[in-house]
Chain A
């Protein structure tokens, strides 16, 4: 009959109207900035540098290999290698960045720098409320502003961070096992050099 569609429509809108006061399903508005929806785990905004431990300078994983600088499509990363070296997480002496600037007004959040970093040093942050009145200086982040602790990395990307930590721990274990074996071989060699040659002891 003519008009029944209109009546059905009006019933639906009335249900919406009254339902919006009682059920959250009918009122899906989130009143930003008082209320926020938590960001998804794999959200990404701008990069940050991970450091282990408490001291950001000493624990920084970045070894200034400059691969991310070369791979970055809009070339927003600027790295200056240091003159000296410092020990990294396995104890090996590595360079470190004396300057690591990212211009976030240029950065396009493509995550290529994260994908190519062999040292798990640069990861994507989820912080997006970065508005500032200083258009040029305020959007150029230096290495201190970019450094965040490994605990922070765990808090924003838990699965990824655990995976990275597992991998690094494995690497460290491998290196340590290798070092231990090398140390034992060296010890065995010195023992063999000190006394007349006993048969080889299943060296490594």
Chain B
């Protein structure tokens, strides 16, 4: 590893650990019995402040980024370059009237956005955001994250059903079907990482990627199975968070607003917040699993604080999400489901096999060649199978003929 001499300089080490040191200093004012709880509480407060702040910035950057992609300027009136737009949006959503339909199920209608936001915030507890900066180091951290993701689907269904609106219900059913299908893919592509690391604990997964040969890091994305896994994970992540091109459940031209049609004011803002926070947390997990978490991309850059790398990588992922949104048209529900079950899932299963092959072939260039060849061949063959012309011929109807 070619490290720079100043990486071990106390200034950079302290800068890297600045939040940990800050927390320890603050907690030191309390008696020893309360310290662990206070430490965790401070971490929770930090997460609750940082990620909604990032959410606010992301809404502005999304609108401006999409605008630039679409040959126009985004919002630029509120604040310099429109950066205070989220403040205006926040005030708007807080002052809007909260309308609950008369025949809607009031309790479930109220609980749905709450459940969504709570479970999404819980997912942040296991992400290692820097060296020694994970809120709860659980042995089965990855499983916890996916458990929280599964609970998110329930809130989507609750929102759609409680509105007593057939469009909301349809949107909710579609959203849940989509989320379940792609959740399988998400889990399987992460299992490949777990297989190689040998642990479900996220800090250990990052530590396994934090080694360097020469200048280059051992991130999993730089291996054939890691790249394939990352691509499948990215597709599944886009579908899980209902982002374009998989945003049929909330497409305005399809189903009004899908499962959050009947929500206005602050509850709608909570759904919006929940969606973007889910995007952050899934990007965070993808960064941890495949992009090396908080480790630096080159060994001579380890002096830069680890949390800068983590948040930088997460923001790059968000930028790619926005880029995809600006590029691709929306997929139809059956195209979406076909894609999941007929292409992505088989490819992910094959990736699992290839990962096992990688592990048991031992070090050397042979495993690189074999794994790459298998994956590329599978991709091309399955792609050809999907793109046959019979898929694009005249449309055949099941009931109308």
Contacts and interface: CB of A to CB of B under 8 A. Distances in A.
Interface string B73-105: 100100000000000000000000000000000
B70 A16 contact: yes
Nearest to A28: B71
28 contacts: A1-B379, A1-B383, A2-B343, A2-B379, A2-B380, A2-B383, A2-B386, A9-B327, A9-B328, A10-B324, A13-B69, A13-B323, A16-B69, A16-B71, A17-B65, A17-B68, A17-B69, A17-B323, A20-B68, A20-B69, A20-B71, A27-B71, A27-B72, A28-B72, A29-B71, A29-B72, A31-B73, A31-B76
Nearest to A31: B73
A59 B70 CA distance: 52
A15 to B, nearest CB: 10
Contact of A3 (B68, B383, B384): B383
B326 interface: yes
A20 B380 CA distance: 35
Nearest to A26: B71
Contacts of B71: 16, 20, 26-29
A21 interface: yes
A31 B384 CA distance: 47
Interface centre among A10, A17, A20 (most CB of B within 10 A): A17
Contacts of B69: 13, 16-17, 20
Interface residues of B, number: 21
Interface in B375-401: 379-380, 382-384, 386-387
B207 to A, nearest CB: 33
A140 B226 CA distance: 73
Contact residues of A: prevailing secondary structure: helix
Contacts, number: 50
A27 B68 contact: yes
Contacts of B72: 27-29
Contacts of B387: 2
Interface string B320-345: 00011011100000000000000100
Contact residues of B: prevailing secondary structure: helix
Interface in B347-401: 379-380, 382-384, 386-387
Interface residues of A, number: 18
B384 to A, nearest CB: 8
A6 interface: yes
A31 B382 CA distance: 48
Nearest to B76: A31
Contacts of B73: 27, 29, 31
Contact of B327 (A13, A26, A31): A13
Interface string A78-91: 00000000000000
Contacts of A27: 68, 71-73
A186 interface: no
Nearest to B376: A1
Nearest to B387: A2
Nearest to A7: B327
B68 A10 contact: no
A179 interface: no
A27 B326 CA distance: 15
